Structure 1
Amino acid sequence: MTTQQSAPPAPAGLRARKKQRTRDALLRAALLLFVSQGYEETTVDEITEAVDVSQRTFFRYFVNKEEVAFAVQTLVEEHFVAALRARPAAEGPLLAMRNAVLDSWDTVGEAIAEVVPVDLYMRTYQLIESTPALLAVHLRRSAELEEQVARLIAEREGLDVEADPRPRVAVAAFCGVMRVTGRLWGRGEDTSIEAIRRLTERYLDHIGGALAADWR
């Protein structure tokens, strides 16, 4: 009598790829449902049914719907922070943030496309701006990112962020411009990454003049 042997376990790399594919499939399904029928109207059951997995599988990858809604936005923010860390030390705070965000828009499209179609991300951003529950979370997350960037700027300049207000003031001005351009882009007809990059560059180029003592 022969004993049937179990199949050997899958290599770690293959398991990791399968997990990533499942996570990406859940993310794409969720975002498609959010933009087509609304965030609050979409249930976790509908997301899992679209991918043909269990609720347990969903919660293995995401804490809740909110985390799914902001998953790609988190990727974009991390891309910006990494670009800021890579800026030359000789660049001043506003120039470093300006160059980092423009460089990010030049390269982030490829990173997004590895997870979801870029157009789907852009439509999700518009959804966030137009959904009160998501907008409240977006503003909270923006405040957290602002603090993170302020501490990074202080580190670059060799300052104590708790003792010197300049890093937080500079980052507040920069992030204010980013919020304005995001809202304006969301209301426009051109929802491409190129469009938001152009708008961002245009508005950032006016930040110095806007902060001048005399506008006349």
Structure 2
Amino acid sequence: MSAVATLGQACWAAAAVKSKPTTAISQTHIRNPKPKSLSLPLSANSSCNHFFSFPPKTTLKSSSSSSSSVRTSVAAVDSDQLSSSDSADKEKPSRYYFVVANAKFMLDDEEHFQEQLCERLRYYGEKNKEQDFWLVIEPKFLDKFPNITKRLGRPAVALVSTNGPWITFMKLRLDRVLAESFEAASLEEALASNPTKIEFEKPQKWVAPYSKYESGWWEPFLPPGSKEEVKA
């Protein structure tokens, strides 16, 4: 019985000795807690930048500035390309096609010519299309074609259009006309003319079963602003 008691006392003593350091460690842990710097706000802990390896602010700013610079450069290049493209489109001349003959043939003798123009103007009106053909009396662009002017009776009249295939058709239809094309920077330049007075004598004898077209029928086909310059 005494042996059992002695053994129990020895076990209890050993347990007490074993638990004492733990108590001491716990007390030491309580008395000496870890530095409070980890519990402080991020801005108050001077070692946070090093601990979390944040990149320096200057690096971030430099990167942003570099990216912005690249975007600005690209935008500048694109803007220059667009500007040059727009200016090239504006400066690119347009091509105009024409048939030309003396005014007597075009406006007085060839009545089919008047019918063709009136029918086309009516068609454009029905389709709500913008007119792209004009009659030009004594056009200034003829100075560019000495080979034509030396074969041409004056005053001359030209049918001018931006529609090349239609001008080709009119050349075949009218037959006794000359055809060519040229480039001009603007419609005003292409249709520029020299003021000329047009007069046709009335035939003494008219044998056709229909009335002759009245003089001045061509005015709806003249370029804007030129009707006042031409007197029939």
Q: TM-score, normalised by structure 1?
A: 0.23
Q: Higher helix share goes to which structure?
A: 1
* Greater relative CO (CA pairs within 8 A, separation 6+): 2
- Higher Rg: 2
Q: TM-score, normalised by structure 2?
A: 0.22
